[in-house]
Amino acid sequence: MEVNLLHTRIEYLKGVGTRRAELLHKELNVYTYQDMLNRFPFRYIDKSKIHKVSQVNDDMVYYQLIGTISDLKSIGAPRATRVTGRFTDDTGSIELVWFKGLKWIKTSFKPGVRYVLFGKASEFNHRYNFVHPEIEEYNPDDPLIGEGLQGVYLTTEKMKNNGLGTRQIAKMQKLILQQMFDIIPEVLPSSVIRQENLIARRYAYYQIHLPSNNIEIQQATRRLKFEEHFFLQLKLLRAKKRRENTVKSHVFGVVGDYFNRFYNDYLPFPLTNAQKRVIREIRRDLGSGHQMNRLLQGDVGSGKTIVALMVMLLALDNGFQACLMAPTEILATQHYATLKEQLKDMPVRLALLTGSTKTTERRVIHHGLKDGSLQILVGTHALIEKGVVFNNLGLAIIDEQHRFGVEQRAKFWEKTEVPPHTLVMTATPIPRTLAMTQYGELDVSKIDELPPGRKPVKTVHVYQDDRYRLMLFMKHQIELGRQVYVVYPLIKESEKTDMIALQEGYEALLRDFPEPQYRICVCHGQLKPEDKDFEMQRFIDRDAQIMVATTVIEVGVNVPNASVMIIENANRFGLSQLHQLRGRVGRGADQSYCILVTDHKMTDDGRIRMKTMCSTNDGFEIAEVDLELRGPGETGGTRQSGQVAMLIGDLQKDGELIQHTRAVASDLLDEDPYLIKPENRLLHEHYKELFAQTFDWSQIG
Ligand code: ADP
Ligand code: MG
């Protein structure tokens, strides 16, 4: 194995040392020269000019000055809260202010020494000052002063306080490039470089860090973005192709009695065209001999459950077992109840397995799974625990995928010798470009049509002061026989205050809606599972008209008679969560309402979220706005494992480039599926290096 000097540890770079190296590990995840080179500037500033103090006359503009520092004073007693000082050149002096790292500041600047200051001027009381400017000793031989454009790098306060500002980082980049320029390898095949008209990789690195003009920045950016998207697509496509080519699974060749009988005699409603199409798509996979790995997207209420049931019946028709896994106990229980109800007297043996299944019952289930007498198992995470062994699991369905990680999906793989077909169902709409990268290894089916007769939910935004009217509205709806959800945010970081808010809200409701005329149930994550289920059941049975809850009800609960969803402190929820919550109503034939309650104080983002919710019911539109507000990292509520973090590419904005690189990668794989041709040697090495540590997506089963 060749030694790759780009893997030299960053502490060996001149001027870094162990302490700064540690900061670089911690704050930027930089360990090697290579890592450092991959931290790109997020913008550039023109440092060709050196200004004079007398020229500082604009708020929020960057200036570069050369002068001396004096009059350092701590302000505030007994504990200093800030340090001020004066920066002086031959045209005047200007105030400097620091709020952090005060000790260090007070002892670091020597009188009479000339410093270079770089920073944004801010106006305060009609005077200008610099808050936390970058400062370093002036060295007339400093290569960075007077050179055209300088990159601005991500740094943290901690780094700045330890002499690791953006300027220092720029210097480190320059040092690394001076030493390593010649050995930066090309990793794209020359045919691709030619065809795409890209600059060589080493020039791209040089120009992105040390550009002399804007054209160089553009060329470098284009090249590096292309490369990053290209390798990602290569990886996703390889995983997909490998699965298609090599992962054999059971052939579900027959449509038999279970499916037909259900379809002809038990189907509770005609399927929508979208449901029919999706079932066809799934059937094609199941008959192909290759393992199905399909994502079923469908907005809340679009009717995914019946699709799941019918696909499971196909498994049964072909002599296999099937399972359906849900993220919460309530949901699993509800799925189980729905399936039982829809199957009526059909001779299907199914069971429910959750964390609270009793040991004796559990034993019976384990037994039935092993000898094959149990055909369908519904449950929670309990399904993927060690003791659960299937006789012949042919199909695994996972509901509400965003709650499960990739690793959990992979566990089904271990349950049987031949990997089962897998269907992942999600109500979280995923914008197209994201779908291509996050789920690039899955095939996608969509239910893009709601069952007929649904009235779109009416959404309004009201303020806290409107509570009285809100109460009257609730009473009116309850009189009409409807039920109402009242949901409170529960955020981990402020769990205590959130619980208090819920408790107070609950007590206020008890006063406004006294028993025995009204009954209110409460449901939150701190209840024991059996208590949660009990409360939930009261609502399902219409024993309670109002349910006060935290987001435990977010996912999948189905109470068609509920027609009002009141979301308290709605501005604290993300858009996708709000949309999920709204999906709990509008499931029956009645007009339903979603009421977003906030106080008048709100962030701009919060206002946009409220407005978006009031203006559209379309999950995809909402997902697009969500993506814009939050960026790709957080879509879907919780961070998923397997999330793609990009260095320079932008999953949100590079849609066209993503599609293009996918096509180029696909062509390359057609020519050289195993990347073994000599012209792809460096590409393959780089590929292996890039993805050595990440989870193997082809193992998702
Ligand atoms: P989700 O996709 O959110 O899981 P569900 O499967 O829970 O949606 O379905 C929502 C509601 O719509 C259920 O009450 C279900 O019985 C009903 N439903 C599903 N498909 C149809 C259909 N084709 N026609 C009428 N109602 C349907
Ligand atoms: Mg559902």
- From the CA of 301, the nearest ligand is 1
624 CA to centre of ligand 1 in angstroms: 25
Question: Distance, CA 300 to ligand 2 centroid (Å)?
Answer: 7
Cα 313 to ligand 2 centre (Å): 18
pLDDT top residue among 261 and 247? 261
Q: Where are the domains of the chain?
A: 49-146, 458-616
Per-residue DSSP letter, 59: T
DSSP symbols for 374-431: --EEEESGGGGSTT---SSEEEEEEESGGGS-HHHHHHHHHHSSSPPEEEEEE-S---
34/172 Cα distance (integer angstroms): 12
For the cut 90, the answer to whether the pLDDT of residue 88 exceeds it is yes
Identify the pLDDT of residue 401.
Answer: 60
- Residues 92-126 have pLDDT tens digits of 999 999 988 888 888 889 889 999 898 888 888 88
> Do β-strands 321-325 and 393-399 pair in parallel, antiparallel, or remain unpaired?
parallel
Q: How far is the CA of 331 from the centre of ligand 2 (A)?
A: 8
505-534 per-position pLDDT tens digit: 999 999 999 999 999 999 887 888 788 888
Dihedral sign for Cα atoms in the order 625, 224, 436, 689: negative
Q: How far is the CA of 484 from the centre of ligand 2 (A)?
A: 20
* 587 CA closest ligand 1 atom index: 11
Ligand that lies nearest to the alpha carbon of residue 307, given by its number in the listed order? 1
Q: Which fold has domain 49-146?
A: OB fold (Dihydrolipoamide Acetyltransferase, E2P) (2.40.50)
Shortest-distance Cα residue to atom 25 of ligand 1: 451
Which of helix, strand or coil describes residue 324? strand
Same fold, 49-146 and 458-616: no
Q: Atom 16 of ligand 1 has which residue's CA nearest to it?
A: 303
pTM: 0.61
How many angstroms does the Cα of residue 447 sit away from the middle of ligand 2? 12
Q: State the chain's mean pLDDT as an integer.
A: 86
pLDDT exceeds cutoff 80 at 432? no
Ligand 1 atom with minimal separation from the 304 CA = 2
Q: Is the CB of residue 152 less than 8 Å from the CB of residue 173?
A: no
How far, in Å, from the CA of 555 to the mean position of ligand 2? 7
Going by C-alpha positions, the residue among 120, 10, 13 that lies closest to residue 61 is: 120
Q: How far is the CA of 67 from the centre of ligand 2 (A)?
A: 67
Ligand 2 mean position, distance from CA 584 (Å): 10
Contact between 356 and 530 under an 8 Å Cβ cutoff? The reply is yes
687: Cβ contacts below 8 Å, ≥ 6 apart: 231, 234, 235, 675
- Closest atom of ligand 1 to 269 CA is 24
Protein residues near ligand 2, an ion, with CB under 5 A? 556
Residue whose CA is closest, atom 18 of ligand 1?
A: 303
> Cα–Cα distances in Å, from 640 out to 17, 146, 405, 634, 636?
35, 45, 6, 8, 8
More confident residue, 651 or 313: 313
Q: What average pLDDT does the segment 230-255 reach?
A: 83
Instruction: Give residue 486 CA to ligand 2 midpoint distance, Å.
Output: 20
Protein residue whose Cα sits closest to atom 27 of ligand 1 = 451
Cβ-count burial 556-575 (b if 16+ within 10 Å, e if not): bbbbeebbbbbbbbbbbbbb
Cα–ligand 1 centroid distance for 378 (angstroms): 18
The answer to whether residue 46 scores a pLDDT higher than 80 is no
* Pocket test residue of 302, 447, 454, 555 for ligand 1, highest count of atoms within 8 A of CB: 302
Looking at the CA of 337, name the nearest ligand: 1
> In whole angstroms, what is the distance from residue 211 CA to residue 204 CA?
10
Distance of CA 239 to the CA centre of its chain: 21
The closest residue, in CA terms, to atom 20 on ligand 1 is 303
Atom of ligand 1 nearest to the CA of 270: 23
DSSP state of 86: E
d(CA 377, CA 383): 8
Helix (H) or strand (E) holding 539: helix 529-540
pLDDT of residue 250 exceeding 60, the answer is yes
Q: Label residues 22-44 b or e (16+ Cβ within 10 Å = b).
A: ebbeebbebbbbbbbbbbbbeee
Q: List the single range of 74-78, 359-363, 437-441, 589-593 with lowest mean pLDDT.
A: 437-441
The rounded Å distance from CA 498 to ligand 2 centre is: 27
Hey, which of 273, 304, 558 would you mutate to test ligand 1's pocket, going by the most ligand atoms within 8 Å of its Cβ?
558
Q: Each residue of 440-487: pLDDT tens digit? A: 667 788 898 889 888 889 999 999 999 999 999 999 999 999 999 999
Strands (E), 427-561: 443-447, 458-463, 483-487, 520-523, 546-549
Strand, coil or helix: 93: strand
Q: What is the pLDDT of residues 382-397, one digit of tens each?
A: 988 888 999 999 999 9
Would you say residue 406 has pLDDT above 80?
Answer: no
CA-to-CA distance for 527 and 169, rounded, in angstroms?
51
What is the pLDDT, as a whole number, of residue 245? 67
Pick left, alpha or beta for residue 586 (phi over 0 → left; psi -120 to 50 → alpha; otherwise beta). Answer: left
Angle ∠(211,213,214) on CA atoms, nearest 5: 100
Nearest residue by C-alpha to atom 19 in ligand 1: 303
Of 426, 439, 422, 450, nearest to 311 (Cα)?
A: 422
Q: Which pLDDT score, from 0 to 100, does residue 577 have?
A: 84
Query: In this structure, which ligand is nearest to the CA of 326?
Result: 2
Rounded to an integer, the average pLDDT of 355-359 is: 91
Query: What is the model's pLDDT at position 402?
Result: 54
* Ligand found nearest the CA of 338: 1
Centre a 10 Å sphere on the Cβ of residue 678 and count the other Cβ atoms it contains.
7
Distance from C-alpha of 616 to C-alpha of 620, rounded to nearest angstrom = 10
Q: Is the separation of the CB atoms in 701 and 410 below 8 Å?
A: yes
- Residues contacting residue 655 through CB under 8 Å, at least 6 positions apart: 432, 433
Instruction: For a ligand 1 pocket test, name from 272, 296, 299, 305 the mutation site with the most ligand atoms within 8 angstroms of its C-beta.
Output: 305
Looking at the chain, the whole-number percentage of residues with pLDDT higher than 90 is 52
Q: Is the confidence at residue 695, as pLDDT, over 50? A: no
To the nearest whole percent, how much of the chain has pLDDT over 70? 89
Nearest CA to ligand 1 atom 24: 451
Task: Please give the CATH number for the structural domain made up of 458-616.
Answer: 3.40.50.300
Say what the pLDDT of residue 410 is.
Answer: 58
| Other residues' Cβ atoms within 10 Å of the Cβ of residue 501 | 16
Q: What is the pLDDT of residue 513?
A: 96
Handedness of CA 376, 379, 383, 388 (dihedral sign): negative
Ligand 1: residues with CB < 6 A are 269, 271-272, 275, 298, 300-306, 427, 451, 556, 558, 560, 587
Interatomic CA distance for residues 286 and 319, integer angstroms:
13
Question: Which carries the bigger pLDDT value, residue 140 or residue 591?
Answer: 591
What are the percentages of helix, strand and coil residues in the chain, rounded to 5?
45, 20, 35
Whole-angstrom Cα distance, residue 542 to residue 565?
Answer: 16
Does pLDDT of 288 surpass 50? yes
Indicate the range of 259-273, 279-293, 355-369, 398-412 predicted with least confidence: 398-412
